Amino acid sequence: GENVEQHPSTLSVQEGDSAVIKCTYSDSASNYFPWYKQELGKRPQLIIDIRSNVGEKKDQRIAVTLNKTAKHFSLHITETQPEDSAVYFCAAQKGLNTGTASKLTFGTGTRLQVTL
Amino acid sequence: GAVVSQHPSWVICKSGTSVKIECRSLDFQATTMFWYRQFPKQSLMLMATSNEGSKATYEQGVEKDKFLINHASLTLSTLTVTSAHPEDSSFYICSARTINEQFFGPGTRLTVL
């Protein structure tokens, strides 16, 4: 089955700096890669996603890049703010939009701390 | 986006009792729902995949007789933790999937004394 690795496990940045979180996946058939932000005691919230036919996607301060050949994808947060502090999870899935999608496989999470 | 609700949001029970958690998709029909368990400072671990009208598919290591899942309609799935023990204390999160996205419930914090 799919295996997703995520690094780093913790990341501390100063407000205004950029943060980068990296994930690798094992199943070349995976074609959907979402990123979730989870605050303490809350549900995971989708912040951005990318599909395998795209190499990069950006939404304001958040961007995701995908390298299918190397089977890795990264989350980039620019101009970090204290409210960005949370745990971030990457995930991988195959078969989305086909009606026979596989389960989401999550990374181990990155605890991001944005300090003043 | 679509809304998924869970009830209760938290529950405290005595060891040996059973607890039922409900997961509802409020504004869409979900043929597939998922149940996750999340221990402190850990990732979401999939427990089972629930398809409407059929038996749930459990992940390896998850006891199907202990974690009973019923997906009786396109908008409701339930997870019953039977004979709960302190090691079952965790954050349980459901999610419901449309054809192109998965939506998570707010989670249920279970504490077994």
Over residues B70-92, the pLDDT tens digits come to 988 889 999 999 999 999 999 99
| pLDDT of A102 above 90 | no
Q: Do B43 and A103 touch (CB under 8 A)?
A: no
Report the pLDDT averaged over residues B3-24.
97
pLDDT of residue B51: 86
Cα-based torsion angle of the residue sequence B13, B68, B23, B56 in order, rounded to the nearest 10 degrees: 160
Report the pLDDT averaged over residues A65-80.
97
Contacts of B97 in chain A (CB under 8 A): 101
- Residues of B near A (Cβ–Cβ under 8 Å) read 1, 34, 41-44, 46, 49, 91, 93, 97, 99-102, 104-107, 109
Contacts of B41 in chain A (CB under 8 A): 111
**Cβ atoms of A22 and A6 closer than 8 Å:** yes
Span A21-65, pLDDT tens digits: 999 999 999 999 999 999 999 999 999 999 988 899 999 999 999
**Cβ atoms of B86 and B113 closer than 8 Å:** yes
Closest residue in A to B42 (Cα–Cα) = A108
- pLDDT confidence bin for B101, thresholds 50/70/90: confident
In this structure, which amino acid lies at residue B55? K
Closest residue in B to A98 (Cα–Cα) = B99
| pLDDT of B11 above 80 | yes
pLDDT of residue A96: 64
pLDDT of residue A100: 60
Closest residue in A to B107 (Cα–Cα) = A43
**Cβ atoms of B64 and B47 closer than 8 Å:** no
| pLDDT of A101 above 80 | no
* Interface probe with B: pick from A97, A103, A112, most Cβ of B within 10 Å: A103
CA A34 to chain centroid: 6
Cα-based torsion angle of the residue sequence B105, B64, A5, A83 in order, rounded to the nearest 10 degrees: 20
C-alpha span between A63 and A71 (Å, rounded)? 17
pLDDT of residue A97: 61
Q: Do B109 and A41 touch (CB under 8 A)?
A: yes
C-alpha span between B52 and B6 (Å, rounded)? 17
- pLDDT confidence bin for B55, thresholds 50/70/90: confident
Q: How many Cβ pairs within 8 Å bridge chains A and B?
A: 40
Minimal CA–CA distance to B24: which of B72, B56, B88?
Answer: B72
Contacts of A107 in chain B (CB under 8 A): 43
Q: Which residues of A66-81 are buried (b: 16+ CB within 10 A; e: fewer)?
A: beeeebbbbbbbeebe
pLDDT of residue B39: 95
Query: What percentage of residues in chain A have a pLDDT greater than 70?
Result: 95
pLDDT of residue A33: 96
